[in-house]
Amino acid sequence: MNFPTPTLPERSTATGYADNPLDRLSEKRDDSALIEALMASPQARAVVIVRDRPVMRPRGDGVSHLFGIEEAQALGLVRETALLGCDADHAYFGLLLDDSAAEFEEKADETGMVDTRRLVLRSRPDLDLTDLRSIAVQGLLDARGCGLLGEAKSLLYWHARHRFCSACGSPSTLASAGWRRDCASCKAMHFPRTDPVVIMLAVDGDRCLMGRSGRFGKGMYSALAGFLEPGETIEGAVRREIKEESGIDVGRVHYVASQPWPFPSSLMIGCLAEATSTEIVIDKTELEDARWFTKAEVTAMLERRHPDYSPPNPVAIAYHLLKAWVEMA
Ligand SMILES: [Zn+2]
């Protein structure tokens, strides 16, 4: 394979949830006077998460994800508040509301057979609780908005599920403007986690390997993927996952791009890998099917003119891996 010289903007920036150029003020998070001043400023804005869903405000033909701080705080019991970062205009905070702020609106269909319940905010039924995947896939928000919500959701999800010290079991409390939890009992400090996932295409000359799980829509194939394990390199994880899922051996591994994936807190590490064998043996517990696709087939898939197969959504890094491979000489 011939790899093009990297150019700016990096390919990573084209993936969903990646467009997030805020100054995170990471060296100033322990300056509580500064954090309070930022929060009290009329320029402060908040995004609000309830039960892992962002609160969205209908606005004109679309939606907005931003609230004033006081309005956000009035939406329900605020469990945690974290500083997400600043740009030239605003300081952005993420607020996590208690689960009780939302409830399911009872609305069965006429037959009573189909569960059509909608999650709504008790205090403001005029606002929507929309899952972040739908927001990105349906294009409800621009890329910057999706990036900010992705950061907020991953961070606040971690707070919601790490309320007790993993060392001694005592309650822990938010610290460092939301980027740490401290245990008053044993003094342990806990930091938000990011889970690395390798996602890759094995390449054999003019063909690349893709698979599909039973959960995918009809005809959709995508890159293989799996969690990187403790003690493992990126290259090692790529080789192991491809071998486990498809039986294909892999030699050299090339990094292409990465993507924050807030479901709940992954970092997708996108790679191309040089296949050294070609006979596929599918792991049926992981995949429904796997097969080689030629560049012509992948091009037709990306251009939505393949009669049988479709690519992953452009929000996902898998789409951009395919695009990178097709564009390579
Ligand atoms: Zn502790």
Residue located via tokens 């452009």 = 314
Distance between Cα 168 and ligand 1 center (Å): 4
Distance between Cα 26 and ligand 1 center (Å): 24
Distance between Cα 156 and ligand 1 center (Å): 20
Handedness of CA 101, 106, 109, 115 (dihedral sign): positive
Q: Other CB atoms closer than 10 Å to residue 257's CB: what's the count?
A: 21
Residue 116 has what pLDDT? Answer: 65
What is the pLDDT averaged over residues 177-196?
Answer: 98
Distance between Cα 189 and ligand 1 center (Å): 8
Distance between Cα 84 and ligand 1 center (Å): 26
**Superfamily grouping for domain 194-327:** Nucleoside Triphosphate Pyrophosphohydrolase (3.90.79.10)
Distance between Cα 155 and ligand 1 center (Å): 20
What 8-state DSSP symbol labels residue 10?
P
Give buried/exposed letters for 318-328 (b at 16+ CB in 10 A, else e).
bbbbbbbbeee
* Residue list, CB under 5 A from ion ligand 1: 165, 167-168, 170, 183, 185-186, 188
Distance between Cα 231 and ligand 1 center (Å): 26
What 8-state DSSP symbol labels residue 122?
S
Distance between Cα 80 and ligand 1 center (Å): 19
- Asked if the 26-161 domain carries CATH number 3.90.79, the reply is yes
Distance between Cα 186 and ligand 1 center (Å): 4
What 8-state DSSP symbol labels residue 70?
H
Distance between Cα 178 and ligand 1 center (Å): 18
Domains 26-161 and 194-327 share a fold: yes
What are the DSSP E strand ranges found in 126-278? Answer: 128-129, 172-175, 180-183, 189-190, 195-204, 207-212, 224-227, 250-261, 266-275
Distance between Cα 135 and ligand 1 center (Å): 37
Distance between Cα 96 and ligand 1 center (Å): 23
**252-256 LR contacts (CB < 8 Å, sep 24+):** 253/200, 254/1, 254/3, 256/11, 256/320, 256/321, 256/324
pLDDT level of residue 61 (50, 70, 90 thresholds):
confident
Distance between Cα 197 and ligand 1 center (Å): 29
Q: What is the pLDDT of residues 128-148, one digit of tens each?
A: 999 999 999 999 999 999 999
Strand partners, 273: 202, 253
Q: Does residue 6 register a pLDDT over 90?
A: no
Distance between Cα 188 and ligand 1 center (Å): 5
Share of the chain above pLDDT 90, in %: 87
- Expressed in percent and rounded to 5, the helix, strand and coil fractions of the chain are 25, 35, 40
Distance between Cα 175 and ligand 1 center (Å): 14
Distance between Cα 29 and ligand 1 center (Å): 22
Distance between Cα 299 and ligand 1 center (Å): 54
Handedness of CA 248, 252, 14, 130 (dihedral sign): positive
Q: Does residue 108 register a pLDDT over 80?
A: no
Distance between Cα 184 and ligand 1 center (Å): 7
What 8-state DSSP symbol labels residue 12?
G
Nearest CA-CA partner of 81 in 71, 92, 89, 90: 92
Single-letter residue type at 13: T
pTM value? 0.93
For every residue of 267-283, DSSP letters joined together read EEEEEEEEES-------
Distance between Cα 30 and ligand 1 center (Å): 20
Rounded to an integer, what distance in angstroms lies between the CA atom of residue 272 and that of residue 201?
5
Distance between Cα 174 and ligand 1 center (Å): 13
Residue 190 has what pLDDT? Answer: 98
Q: Does residue 287 register a pLDDT over 80?
A: yes
Pairing of strands 91-97, 44-50: parallel
Q: What is the pLDDT of residues 145-167, one digit of tens each?
A: 999 999 999 999 999 999 999 99
Give buried/exposed letters for 26-64 (b at 16+ CB in 10 A, else e).
eeebeeeeebeebeeeeebbbbbbbbbbbbbbeeeeebe
Query: How many separate helices (H) and strands (E) can be counted in the chain?
Result: 7, 17
Q: Where are the domains of the chain?
A: 26-161, 194-327
Residue 109 has what pLDDT? Answer: 63
Q: Other CB atoms closer than 10 Å to residue 269's CB: what's the count?
A: 21
Is-cis flag, bond preceding 230, omega within 30? no
